[in-house]
Amino acid sequence: MYTATVVSSTAIVYVEDNVSWAWGFGLCAVANVLGLAVFLSGSRFYHLVKPKGSPFRRLASVVVGAISKRRMALSDQTEDYYHDLTVHAKCPTHFFRFLNRAALRSTEEDTNQDGSITTPWKPCTVQQVEDLKSLIKIFPLWSTGLFLCTPLAIQLSLATLQALSMDRRLGPRFHIPAGSMSVFILISTSFSIFLIDRLFFPLWEKLTHRPPKLLQRIGIGHTLTIISMAVSAVVESKRLETARSDDLQNETNAVGPMSALWLVPTTGYCWYRRSISFSRTSCTLLPRISRVT
């Protein structure tokens, strides 16, 4: 995916800037057709999983079931709850205990002779209830990603706008297309993930005798987010100061003397902190959060 993004951010953008937009869109269309052909050519090797209903309906049915059975008394007995036939029967956890009512047994008409659920809305199984609880548990951690992704989106879009008004010369003849500034972000991300997993985290384990915790990694990522935005603000202030000193702030399509390469550290640093928060080893620890009660 990163390889395709690098090609589109460099070769395609260069063609659009120096040849024509028609050729650029044409190359994109050809690439899409080739990708579709490759995808369809491997269809006989795909493992097709039959749909079993919407996962959102399964989660919503827990809320509906809990509300409809709100007057029922909770039980600590395993046999008082509905269970998936393929899962070992156990009592639901005490986290958000009121949701457990959705899995309480009420009438015999709710199940078939083999014990399966007759209606997709109610009653629910203990597994459905625990799935919803798992999502609730990781929601606070997931929501912190909004504070991480917002600066990423801002810096990614502003880098192109800033580059349009900066000196993009790279040598006597070549000019870096403004749309290709994102390639530095991709290169930085690829390099950072390798550096973090192979150098930073092993060094951390060597010094502390234990791997960094998931929340520590995310905390470091958010700290770097603050520093990265501060660095971006300094670069932007310098760019505006240079434009004012040359009386370029009121001119359309004016290009200042400040080099666009000053954007490379800010964009690279921006995605370095993303690599810490979402590195390969961090992702392997995410399922453990759902086990916390």
pLDDT, tens digit, 9 for 90 and up, residues 42-69: 888 888 877 777 788 888 888 888 888 8
Read off φ and ψ for residue 167, nearest 5 degrees. -75, 110
Q: What is the pLDDT of residue 33?
A: 94
What phi and psi values does residue 117 have, to the nearest 5 degrees?
-75, 135
State the pLDDT at residue 29.
Answer: 92
pLDDT, position 281? 42
- Tokens in use for 260? 């666009």
Q: What is the per-residue pLDDT for 217? A: 79
What pLDDT, on the 0 to 100 scale, is given for residue 81?
A: 81
At CA 150, angle to CA 255 and CA 28, rounded to 5?
A: 65
Q: How far is CA 77 from CA 93, 130, 258, in A?
A: 12, 16, 71
Positions in the chain short of pLDDT 70: 1-2, 107-122, 249, 267-293
Residue 175 main-chain phi, psi, to 5 deg:
-115, 130
Distance (Å, whole) CA 208 – CA 223 = 20
pLDDT of residue 292: 43
Question: At which residue do the structure tokens 């827990």 appear?
Answer: 62
pLDDT of residue 34: 92
- How far apart, in whole angstroms, are the C-alpha atoms of residue 244 and residue 239? 9
